[in-house]
Amino acid sequence: MSYCEVCTRESNECDQLVGLSCGHQFCLSCWQEYIKTQMNEQFLLRIECMESGCSLYCLEDFVLQILKGHSKLIEKFKKHAFLAEVKSHPNLKICPGKDCTTIIMADREKAKKVTCNACGTSFCVRCGGDYHAPTSCETIRKWLIKCVDDSETANYISAHTKDCPNCHSCIEKNGGCNHMQCAKCKHHFCWMCFGDWKTHRSEYYECSRYKENPAVAQEANHIKARRALEKYLHYFERYENHHKSLMLEEELRQSILKKVEEKVNDHEGTWIDWQHLHRAATLLTKCRYTLQYTYPYAYYMESGSKKELFEYQQAQLEKEIEELSWKVERAERTERGDLESQMHVAEVTRRTLLEEFFK
């Protein structure tokens, strides 16, 4: 007589025994509990046979048959099966907007940025993240990891500390004196050249042995670490600053939109009379967004004529954006022609940079 290999009950004591083409038989109750666990804990669409070592997967029809009568689980399984199919399709993307479930079709080879018609979220069709032109998907991934990774903390430590030449413990200099004593091994040494302090004698605050000491190479590594940190902070601080400016300018855009609507409602003109203010604020956020992502791009560029050209265009874009920002903040006191002229210059500058470096 056959029996379930999980609960060990015989076929006449339990539900119907069912199994896959591999021949491993289990009762219906054990199958249901197993599939429920797989779905609730980590939601595996590719559910393997319960037999240890068996790599055969349950087909969708088999899973649905096992879950018959459990409508919520069936609905959940079908939903995740559908989303998995969407994610595996090269030209389909699920909108990353909050609470949005819209499916968007776009050719990944041609499209770079898509905007969801349902919620208005714009994103990169290639990686599914925030749109990041002119920075590539791979570069922005590295940059975002770098921004949150402890590696920059390590750089800071490396830039502001040195290792004891005797026991190699990490030491931070918190005073002006170059005479250091390691707290761990009590070794006395010179902060400047790592030499034994006893050899300095009367050369109290002057390190004449600095160039002769082989520890110069270690000092060079600290200098390199400081320079690497300075470079990172240069780009990161500007990236963050433009992000904060973007958030404030988005609030300004919303404020201008509200003012325009109030003026129209108060019969102080029509939408056509005031729409240039809102268009200017919208363009400002668009340009600022692009400028923000030029900094990760520049950080990873190699030195040379191409980088020099990029940084020149980046500086021009920043100049025109700040000019536009100044006028948008004073939009009601700025001549319409002057504002629209600045809008044109800023947008042309933005497009020129993207066309040159984001192909």
Q: Report the alpha-carbon distance of residue 63 to residue 70 in Å, rounded.
A: 11
How are beta strands 92-94 and 103-105 bridged, if at all? antiparallel
CB atoms within 10 A of CB 298: 19
Contact 165, 213 (CB under 8 A): no
Contact 46, 40 (CB under 8 A): no
Residue of 177, 182, 185, 207 marked catalytic: 177
Residue 182 exposure: Cα atoms within 13 Å on the Cβ side: 19
> Strands, DSSP E only, in the chain?
17-19, 25-27, 92-94, 103-105, 113-115, 122-124, 161-163, 170-172, 179-181, 188-190
Token representation of residue 30: 């054990």
> 100 catalytic, yes or no?
no
Q: Report the alpha-carbon distance of residue 167 to residue 352 in Å, rounded.
A: 56
> Which residues are designated catalytic?
177
